[in-house]
Amino acid sequence: MTLLELVDALNTRGIGLQARDGRLIVTAPRGAATPNIRSELAAHKPELITLLSNPNLRFWTAPDLSKDDANALDAILAEPPGAT
């Protein structure tokens, strides 16, 4: 698994990472960190710590939208400019 594939898998499973004092801190819902995920985290640990320790690097992911939020967003985007 590549580093990008691992990050995607972690995001999908709700697993968070932090680097603190040269250590990799993993927060995960119960059962989310499968043996395969743990193995991949160990394999990519040095890279992950380096990336997460970089003060110039920021990760951002869009929050999940509820069905109501998605419908409201669709309605806003469907309006012609200046209609509000």
Q: Are 15 and 27 in contact (CB under 8 A)?
A: yes
Choice between 35 and 61, residue whose per-residue pLDDT is larger: 35
Tokens of 4: 């990008």
Q: Are 4 and 38 in contact (CB under 8 A)?
A: no
From the number of C-beta atoms within 10 Å of its C-beta (0-12, 13-18, 19+), residue 51 rates as middle
Domain ranges, ordered by start, for the chain? 3-78
Choice between 16 and 59, residue whose per-residue pLDDT is larger: 16
CA within 13 Å, CB half, 12:
8
Q: What is the pLDDT of residue 48?
A: 94
